[in-house]
């Protein structure tokens, strides 16, 4: 497994792994959720077909024969342990996973593309495509032409919480990635029909722990204020460079020391149909 490779590293502590063992899910290129994302987030949002067609302009693709492969990379127990203790500034492990762990995620994306390409199957990683760019959504403010979390939601890997994080079977303390391939793979069953199904606040009216954990008040019962959150990342960047001596940033307080840190809250775990 690629996550066992030396590329999965914090670049410190004897090349300690940045991520634990992943889980994988699949969604179909013709899934109506992708059309909904374009309508809901903004017309700038790109479909799996658009990414594949841009990468292979001479290709003749059919949406229902395209698969989006999504994965969840969970934070390690050591990273979560360290970050639970923090209340205002990032732990070093969290900041390293955000920078060096995401470097690995990019390598994993490219590795997946290469593996399919070697077998003659067209593949593209949306986050590595020239089509990926940040945008402004009239409804959601900061947005982009592809969202790894929304792809993971489509692939049955989790639902959204009050802080906008994706709550997965491995928890909310994670990163996610995806590739689009010209190959039909049976889609993963979505064990939910509500995009907030795994969030205690939305489903039970309880918890609010992510509100308490946010050091700057960017999360309220009304949701997640992206503008306030983004400004704090700049502060974190200065802190990380000054204290840990590398260029990086990290926050993630809403992802640790919360009931959904390492899994779906017990009372919300779905049963297969």
pLDDT-derived band at 66, boundaries 50, 70, 90: very high
What does the pLDDT read at residue 7?
97
What does the pLDDT read at residue 245?
97
Q: How far apart are CA 8 and CA 215, in angstroms?
A: 30
pLDDT-derived band at 272, boundaries 50, 70, 90: confident
User: Among residues of the chain, what percentage have pLDDT more than 90?
Assistant: 98
Q: How far apart are CA 59 and CA 120, in angstroms?
A: 12
pTM (two decimals): 0.96
What does the pLDDT read at residue 1?
74
Buried/exposed code over 61-75 (b: 16+ C-beta within 10 A; e: otherwise): beeeebbbbbbbbbb
Q: Average of pLDDT values for 96-108?
A: 98
Q: What is the DSSP string of 185-224?
A: -PPPPP--SSTTTT-HHHHHS---HHHHH-TTS-EETTEE
pLDDT-derived band at 208, boundaries 50, 70, 90: very high
Taking a C-beta distance cutoff of 8 angstroms, is the pair 181, 67 a contact? Answer: yes
Q: What is the DSSP string of the chain?
A: -GGGSTTS--SSTTT--SB---EEEEEETT-HHHHHHHHHH-TTPPPHHHHHHHH-TT----GGG-EEEEEEEEBPHHHHHHHHT-SSS--HHHHHIIIIIHHHHHHHHHHHHHHHHHTT--EE-GGGSTT--EEEETTTEEEES--HHHHHHHTTS-EE-TTS-EEBTTBSSEEEEEEEESS--PPPPP--SSTTTT-HHHHHS---HHHHH-TTS-EETTEE-HHHHHHHHHHHHHHHHHHH-SS-----GGGSSSTTSSS--GGG-----
What does the pLDDT read at residue 2?
83
Other Cβ atoms less than 10 A from the Cβ of 209: the count is 19
With a cut of 70, say whether residue 137 has pLDDT above it. yes
Ranges 46-60, 103-117, 224-238: which has the least confidence: 224-238
pLDDT digits (tens, 9 = 90+) for 157-184: 999 999 999 999 999 999 999 999 999 9
Q: Average of pLDDT values for 198-225?
A: 97
With a cut of 80, say whether residue 46 has pLDDT above it. yes
Other Cβ atoms less than 10 A from the Cβ of 58: the count is 5
What does the pLDDT read at residue 273?
60
With a cut of 90, say whether residue 43 has pLDDT above it. yes
CA atoms within 13 Å, Cβ hemisphere of 8: 19
Q: How far apart are CA 236 and CA 250, in angstroms?
A: 6
With a cut of 90, say whether residue 6 has pLDDT above it. yes
Q: How far apart are CA 226 and CA 208, in angstroms?
A: 18
Q: Average of pLDDT values for 136-154?
A: 97
What does the pLDDT read at residue 246?
96
Question: How far are the Cα atoms of 72, 140, 162 from residue 143, in angstroms, in the given order?
Answer: 20, 7, 17
Q: Phi and psi at residue 71, in whole multiples of 5°? A: -140, 160
Q: Average of pLDDT values for 85-111?
A: 98
What does the pLDDT read at residue 173?
99
pLDDT-derived band at 53, boundaries 50, 70, 90: very high
């Amino acid at each position: 497994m690629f996550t066992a490779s030396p590329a999965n590293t914090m670049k410190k502590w004897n090349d300690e792994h940045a991520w634990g063992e992943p889980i994988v899910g699949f969604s179909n290129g013709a899934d109506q959720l992708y059309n909904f994302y374009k309508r809901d987030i903004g017309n700038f949002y790109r479909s799996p077909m658009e990414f594949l067609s841009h990468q292979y302009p001479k290709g003749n693709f059919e949406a229902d024969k395209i698969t989006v492969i999504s994965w969840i990379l969970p934070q390690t127990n050591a990273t979560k342990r360290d970050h639970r203790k923090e209340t205002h500034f990032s732990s070093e492990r969290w900041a390293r996973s955000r920078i060096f762990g995401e470097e690995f995620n990019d390598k994993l994306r490219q590795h997946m593309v290469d593996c399919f390409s070697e077998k003659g199957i067209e593949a593209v990683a949306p986050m590595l495509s020239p089509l990926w760019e940040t945008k402004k959504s009239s409804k959601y403010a900061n947005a982009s032409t592809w969202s790894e979390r929304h792809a993971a939601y489509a692939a049955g890997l989790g639902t959204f919480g009050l802080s906008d994080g994706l709550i997965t079977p491995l928890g909310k303390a994670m990163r996610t990635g995806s590739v689009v391939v010209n190959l039909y793979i049976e889609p993963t069953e979505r064990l939910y029909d509500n995009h907030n199904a795994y969030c205690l606040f939305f489903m039970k009216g309880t918890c609010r722990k992510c509100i308490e954990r946010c050091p700057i008040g960017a999360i309220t019962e009304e949701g997640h204020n992206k503008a306030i959150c983004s400004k704090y990342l700049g502060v974190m960047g200065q802190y990380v460079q000054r204290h840990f001596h590398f260029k990086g940033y990290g926050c993630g307080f809403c992802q640790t020391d919360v009931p959904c840190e390492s899994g779906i809250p017990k009372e919300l775990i779905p049963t297969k149909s």
